[in-house]
Amino acid sequence: MKKNERGLRMASTKVIILGGGFAGLNIAKSLGNTSFDVWLIDKTNHHLFQPLLYEVATAALSPADIAVPIREILARYKNINVLMGEIVSIDKDKRIVSLRNGEFIGFDYLVIALGSQSSYYGHDDWKDFSLGLKNLDDALKIREQILLSFEKAERCDNRSKASEYLNFVIIGGGPKGTEMAGAIAEIADKTMIHNFRHIDPAQAKIFLIERLPRILSSFPEPLSRKAHVYLEKLNVRVMTEVQISQISKQGVLIDKTFIPSQNVFWLAGDTASPILQTLGVPLDRQGRVIVDSDLSISGHPEIFVIGDAASVQDHLGVALPAMAPVAIQQGKYLGKILKHHLEKKNRKPFHYNDKGMLAVIGKTKGIGTFRNFQFSGFFAWTIWGIVHLLFLTGFRNRLSVLLQWLFSFITNKRGARLIYRSIDEDQSKKVNTN
């Protein structure tokens, strides 16, 4: 409890944090064991290390390797309460957040650190025929889809039908898309190579679709070209400057080219949580809140938006990317503002310290930038691994991921290749074994 000028006890300042991702977790830690009454609300009970989510989707890691219970992370902070619940609306004037179960929670300060969701650019009907990658449920669905596809192809009695299951279409040439394409290519060419008798997994075709002139457009052009070459060496068909015309149960229509496929993975774009619309404040084209320089919303210095939910520009007027380092720095910045009870006029603008970018394309190949330095190949791949291990939460997770990576590096095997649902008998026919 804090005290006023007369020494009388007052209610603690209540801080509500919405979201247990990188941004929300770092602001919570910054306010840990202080006089604040902190409440962190998330619809799941775990913090997810999203940069490695594609490795769960491609059977390299298990869900527990990249997720940690939020209560466990914050257990040592006695002033932080964790609530598992789903926010449905925010009333900024009454200072109340509403939960799906009907609860209302008031606040003195509100920090909105809600993540993003897949954007289909106005074609929401495509959701029925493609899988996104935003959470563990998505990753497990993709993992089973990939593994089941090889099983179904093994049972097909004609080559054209089998090709539908052995064609993998990844839409989106950003880091997630390129990393996913490289991982699936390695599954087909190395992991599965001796596991089947009626199909050759190496005959699988992986298509990476990007509407811009080049993949990994946020990287310098020389590195983008190098990544393109790496993918082609893995037999990934990279298609740039093309438009998706249609996605159906049968496959994908790209301009005038139709690719028959039962495996379409949408990693093309993001949009912010629709909950932000209940704030009644200006949003950008991706639905993110346009915040002031101190990350608060205009007219409400007690409400902050950070992470993927915030539209923030650097000193050159370029929007900051939705990346873990940005969210982490915003969380720590905001923690200092709240701990010192700084009024809006005394808050220094948020400044992002750009520490570069990294991406990997299969085993031993990667690209990276740090300030004006560009690097690639095995060195970039190694740096990527070290950085991701350091960012992982918890010693157990770091050790588990390291051991899994070493196992995969030495054997080319993936240890999480489990299928939990049965194969659909009406969608595949057993091969004639005579």
State the catalytic residues. Answer: 179
45 C-beta neighbours (distance < 10 Å), count: 14
Q: Which long-range contacts (CB under 8 A, 24 or more apart) does 133-138 make?
A: 133/53, 133/54, 133/57, 133/176, 133/180, 133/265, 133/267, 134/50, 134/53, 135/44, 135/48, 135/53, 136/46, 136/48, 136/53, 136/56, 136/63, 136/67, 138/53, 138/57
87-91 β-sheet, strand order: 87-91, 96-99, 104-106
312 C-beta neighbours (distance < 10 Å), count: 21
The SS3 assignment for 203 reads: helix
Q: Which of 84, 39, 48 is nearest to 324 (CA)?
A: 48
Position of tokens 């899988």? 131
The SS3 assignment for 396 reads: helix
Cite the beta strand spans of 261-419 per DSSP E: 263-266, 270-272, 289-290, 296-297, 300-305, 310-311, 357-360, 366-370, 373-376
Q: Which of 182, 205, 206, 202 is nearest to 192 (CA)?
A: 202
Token pair of 283, please? 């949003």
What is the rounded distance in angstroms from the CA atom of residue 148 to the CA atom of residue 150? 5
Instruction: Give the type of residue at 274.
Output: P
- For residue 215, give Cα distances in angstroms to 19, 183, 228, 257, 268: 30, 16, 7, 20, 11
- For residue 38, give Cα distances in angstroms to 24, 102, 155: 11, 21, 55
